[in-house]
Amino acid sequence: MASVAFGFEILHQDGCTAARMGRFSTPHGPIDTPAFMPVGTQGTVKGVDVGRLRETGAQIVLANTYHLALRPGEQTVSALGGLHQFMGWDGPILTDSGGFQVFSLADRVAIDDRGVQFRSHVDGTLIDLTPERAVAIQEQLGSDIAMVLDHVVALPNDREVLADAMRRSLRWAERCQAAATRSDQAIFPIVQGGLDADLRVESAERLVQLDFMGYAIGGLSVGEPPAEMYRVLDFTVPRLPRDRPRYLMGVGRPIDLLEGIARGIDLFDCVMPTRNGRNALAFTHSGTVRLRNQQHSMDREPVDATCSCLACRHSRGYLRHLFQAGEMLGPMLLSIHNLTYYQRLLAEARRAIAEDRFTSFVREQERGWEVDSETS
C-alpha cells in the first residue's frame, strides 16, 4: 500500500564486504544507512528528551506497539495527534508489531492461525491480537514504518515448532499486507526460522515474493552465540532484494552492528545503549567503562575525551558520584553518551564504506575494544 515519499537509494557499495551506504526516505525525512534506531518503548527514549536525542545524531526512533497499545492505548495516542506529535519527534518512527513482547512479556493464553490472546502485563486485561489488528493499531499510531505481527518462539527449539511458527508468520505477513490502508506507512515483514538455514531461506524467499518496501530479520540475539547469528545472516541476507532496506531486529553490541553491516544490514535497534547507560556502563572506542567502580571516584577525565556529548563535559568522578547518590542525572547523561557513541560508530561506518575501507575500519574498532579501559 505504502508509496508516498518512500525510497531507498544505495549510494555506495563496499568492495570487499556486503556493506552498503545509502539513504532511506520516509514521509518524515531521510535516514542515512546503515542506521541505529534508539528505542523509545513507551513513547520516550528513557531519560532523554527529544532535543537531546536529536543531538546524539539519531534520525529515526523505534516505539513499541505492545506497550503503547496497553498504555495509554492507540486511541489516546491518535487523539493526541498521532505518535509524532505525542512524542514531539518530527523525524521518522518505526513501530514494532508487538509480536516479540506478546511472546516475551505477556501471559499468553492461546495462539492459533487467527491470532494470539494474552493478558496485559499492566492490568491483566485479556487482549486479542490478530495480524489485522496489529496493522490497525500501528495505523492509528501513525508510524512511518510498521512491522507485521509474527509468531516468535524461543531458541533453541524443535525444528517442527520453528517451522510452524515461521509458516504462521508468513501467512500473517500476507494478511498484514492485505490489511494495510495508509499510503504514508511502509510495512516490513520479518524473516523467521531460528538458526535453520532451510527455514530461513524459505521464509525470506516467500516474503520476497510478496514484495515489501523493506525486510526485517527477527528471532536473533536471543541468547545464541554471536557466531550463530552471523551464520544466519550469511545465508539469509543474500535472499533479500538488494534494493530494499534490511533491518536486523533487536541487535545489539557495537561489534554485532559492524558484523551485521558487513553482511548487508541497513537498520538496527537495541536497548543496549540506554539500558546499560542507566546501569552506569559506558561504551567507548577503547572498551566499556563501569562508572560505579571505585577507581573513578577522583578521576577528572571524561568518559571519552574524543566525545562531545553532554556527559563527556563532566569528569568520570562526577558521573560516578551521580550513580552512587542515586541521582537521575547519572542515567540521563550516560544514556546520552551511549546513544552518541552508537550514532558516531554508525556515522564512521558510513564514511568508511563510502571510502572503501570498511574492513580496515572494523579491524581498527576491534583493536580499540580489546584495550578495555577497566582492565588496562
**Alpha carbons 141 and 122: distance in angstroms, whole number:** 19
**Is the CB of residue 346 less than 8 Å from the CB of residue 257?**
yes
Q: How far is the CB of 35 from a copy of itself (least distance, A)?
A: 23
Helices (H), 15-112: 50-55, 65-70, 74-79, 82-87, 99-104
Query: Closest CB to a copy of itself among 45 and 345?
Result: 45
Question: Could you give the maximum distance between any two Cα atoms of the chain, in Å?
Answer: 60
Q: How far is the CB of 159 from a copy of itself (least distance, A)?
A: 39
Among residues 14, 144, 256, 269, which one is catalytic?
269
**Is the CB of residue 62 less than 8 Å from the CB of residue 114?**
no
**Alpha carbons 52 and 277: distance in angstroms, whole number:** 15
Query: Closest CB to a copy of itself among 340 and 365?
Result: 340
What is the contact surface with a copy of itself in residues (CB under 8 A)? 42-44, 46-49, 51-52, 67, 71-72, 76, 79-81, 85-88, 297-298, 300, 310, 313-315, 317-318, 320-322, 324-325, 327-329, 331-333
Among residues 14, 96, 256, 304, which one is catalytic?
96
Q: How far is the CB of 64 from a copy of itself (least distance, A)?
A: 11
Query: Closest CB to a copy of itself among 294 and 376?
Result: 294
- Please name the residues in contact with 375: beta carbons below 8 A apart, sequence gap of 6 or more: none
**Is the CB of residue 120 less than 8 Å from the CB of residue 129?**
no
Structure-block grid coordinates of residue 348: 564512521
Query: Closest CB to a copy of itself among 45 and 135?
Result: 45
Q: How far is the CB of 52 from a copy of itself (least distance, A)?
A: 8
Query: Closest CB to a copy of itself among 71 and 367?
Result: 71
Q: How far is the CB of 275 from a copy of itself (least distance, A)?
A: 13
CA atoms within 13 A on the CB side of 167: 7
**Alpha carbons 35 and 227: distance in angstroms, whole number:** 22
DSSP at 15: S
**Is the CB of residue 64 less than 8 Å from the CB of residue 42?**
yes
Query: Closest CB to a copy of itself among 224 and 299?
Result: 299
Active site residue 266: no
Structure-block grid coordinates of residue 176: 498484514
Q: How far is the CB of 61 from a copy of itself (least distance, A)?
A: 13
**Alpha carbons 337 and 314: distance in angstroms, whole number:** 11
Active site residue 112: no
Active site residues: 96, 269
